[in-house]
Amino acid sequence: MAEELRAQDEEEVLLFEASGDRLALLATEVTEIIRPPAMTRVPHSPPHLLGVANLRGKVIPILSLGGMLGGNAVASSPSTRVIVINGQRPLGILVDRVMTLARASDAKRIDLETLVSDNFRKQSRSAQRARTEVIQETVAPKEEVAEKLVFLAFEIGGQEYALPLHEVVGIAAVPGTIAGLPRSEAAMVGVAEVGGSLIPIVSARVLLGLADEESLAEAGRIVIMRLGRGQVGVVVDGMKEIIRVAPDALDPVPPVLTRARGEAQVEAICRLDDGRRLISILAPGKLFDPETVALVLAQADLGAHQMAGTEIAAHALEQFIVFQLGDESYGLPIGSVDEIVRCPDDLTRVPRAPTFVKGLMNLRGKAVPVIDQRQRFSVAGSDTGSRRRIVVVTINGLQAGFLVDGVAEVLSVSAGELSPAPDLSIDVAQTIDRVAMIEREGRMILLVDPKALLDRAERDVLAALSSEQEAAQSS
C-alpha cells in the first residue's frame, strides 16, 4: 500500500489555475497546451460549452473548467490557455494560467472524465447515426423532388436569371487574381484558382449581350457550373435565392424573342407571385461559344490523371445552403430546403405564440409560420437589414420558414470534410448534426438538422401555450 502511494506521489502532474483554484491534471492526460483558438458557438449548448474549434482538421469542444467547477467563466487575458485532453472524448479546457510540470504537488487533482460526465448528458454515437439515417430518408422524399424543379436564381444587369440547381457545383467570391488569356473571346475573363482547381472565368453580362458596366472588383459572385467534363465560373452581379417551382410555372420563350443571341440562351420564363415576378431560365448548353467549351474540356483533360479520384469524390459530395446568424455560419441540407424568399414587410402575428414565432407569411396562398432563428440560437443583438431571408423547409408534412440574417452560398462538401458534432449534450447532438471543415478556406460550418429545429420549435410552442393556459386557470 505504501509503495502504491509513493508511486502516485511520483507521477508527473500539470499545475494550472482556474477560478482562483490551484489545480492539477495527470501529465499523461494532456496532449498539448495552446492559446485560445477561434471558436464557433454551438446553439442550444450547455452553458459551460464555450464552442468548438478546429485543431489541425479535428473538431474539438472547448469547455470552461471554472464554470464546471462552479466558479466564474475564465476572462480572456494574455495568460489564458487551453489544455487539450486526449481521452475517450478529445476536448479542450479553458484555464486562467498554466504553471508548470511537477512530480508531486498539494494541488487539487481533478477527475476530468467524471467532471465532464456530471456536467454534460451523453448520447451514443450509434443512436445519433441511426437518427441521421432516418432523417436522410425522410428529409427529401423522392415524390416531392420529382414534382418540383429547382433553380438557383441570381441577378445580371438588373434582371433575374436562373440555372438548374443540378448544374451548379458551387458559389464563390470573385478571385483576387485572374490570369488573362490571349486572343480569347470578349466573354472570357481568364482563368483563376477556385476551391483548389483552375477553372475558366466568363462574364455573364457579355454572354447575354448586356452592357458590361460593372468591373470585376465590384461584381458579386461566381456561379461555378458544370460544362461537359469540366467546370466554368460565371460572373454574376449578385445572388438571389433558390426556388422550387412546379413544371407548369415555366413558359416557353416566345419565338419572336429567340432571334437575338442573348434570348436564344434563355430556354424558359418562370412565373412567380402570380406573374408579378419573371425569371429567365438559362439553357446551360447554349450559353458558351465553342472556344469556351474547348478551353473547359482542355482544362479537364489536363487533369485527366486525377479524374478517377475526382469522380469518386463527386459522388460523395453533399450540398448545403449556408446561412448567417450574427458572426456565425450554419448549413442546412439542400434537400430539405423548399425555397428561399425575402422577408415580407408585414407578418400576421399569432396570438399567444412565443416571441420567437415572428408570425405567419402568405406563401402563394398558404399560411407558413416564420421562426426567428436569432432568438432560437440566442444570437445577441438584432438585425433588420435588407439581406434577411426566410429559408422555407418541409419535414414530414410540416412546413415552416426560418428567418436568418442572410443566405451566403450553396456549398458542396466532400465526405472527407464532414466530422461528427461534439458528443457532449443531447440538445447539441439533436440540433447540430455534423460539422463541415473547409480546410481550403479555413472555415468551420455547423450543419443543422432541420427536423430537430422543427421538432424543437413545435415542442416549445406547445410548452409555451400550456404554461399560459395553466397560468390562466390558476388566476
* Mean pLDDT within 260-272: 72
List the alpha helices (DSSP H) in 60-141: 65-68, 112-119, 125-138
Give the H or E element holding residue 13: strand 13-18
* Angle 175-228-439 from CA coordinates, rounded to 5°: 40
Q: Are 288 and 232 in contact (CB under 8 A)?
A: yes
Instruction: Give the pLDDT of residue 217.
Output: 47
Q: How confident is the model at residue 136 (pLDDT cuts 50, 70, 90)?
A: very low
Torsion angle of C-alpha atoms 208, 210, 211, 214, degrees rounded to 10: -70
Which residues, listed in sequence order, are joined to residue 319 by a DSSP beta bridge? 412
Q: Tell me how far apart the alpha carbons of residues 7 and 26 are, in angstroms, rounded to a whole number.
A: 13
* Mean pLDDT within 417-445: 75
For 100-133, the pLDDT digits (tens) are 888 766 678 888 888 887 776 544 444 444 444 4
* Mean pLDDT within 385-403: 83
Name the CATH superfamily housing domain 318-469.
CheA-289, Domain 4 (2.40.50.180)
- What does the mean pLDDT of the chain come to? 75
Chain-centroid distance of CA 197 in Å reads 22
Per the model's pLDDT, the better-predicted residue between 270 and 376 turns out to be 270
Q: Does the pLDDT at position 333 exceed 70?
A: yes
Query: Among 250, 192, 247, which Cα is nearest to 222's?
Result: 192
* Mean pLDDT within 392-400: 81
Per the model's pLDDT, the better-predicted residue between 292 and 265 turns out to be 265
What is the CATH number assigned to the segment(s) 2-120?
2.40.50.180
Q: Tell me how far apart the alpha carbons of residues 432 and 425 are, in angstroms, rounded to a whole number.
A: 10
pTM passes above 0.75: no
Instruction: Give the pLDDT of residue 82.
Output: 92
Domain ranges of the chain: 2-120, 142-315, 318-469
In angstroms, the Cα distances linking 150 to 99, 249, 391 are 58, 12, 14
For 167-194, the pLDDT digits (tens) are 888 777 777 777 766 655 667 777 787 7
Q: Which CATH architecture has domain 142-315?
A: Beta Barrel (2.40)
Q: Does the pLDDT at position 219 exceed 60?
A: no
Q: Are 433 and 449 in contact (CB under 8 A)?
A: yes
Task: Extract the runs of DSSP E, i.e. beta strands, from 117-264.
Answer: 149-156, 159-164, 168-172, 188-194, 197-203, 221-227, 230-236, 238-245, 250-251
Same CATH topology for 2-120 and 142-315: the answer is: yes
Q: Residue 239 corresponds to which amino acid?
A: M
Q: Does the pLDDT at position 343 exceed 80?
A: yes
User: Cβ contacts of residue 393 below 8 Å, gap of 6+?
Assistant: 332, 336, 337, 338, 399, 400, 401, 402, 450, 453, 454
* Mean pLDDT within 201-207: 83
Q: Does the pLDDT at position 198 exceed 80?
A: no
Which of 80-89, 119-128, 210-219, 456-465 is least confident? Answer: 119-128
Task: Tell me the residue length of the chain.
Answer: 475
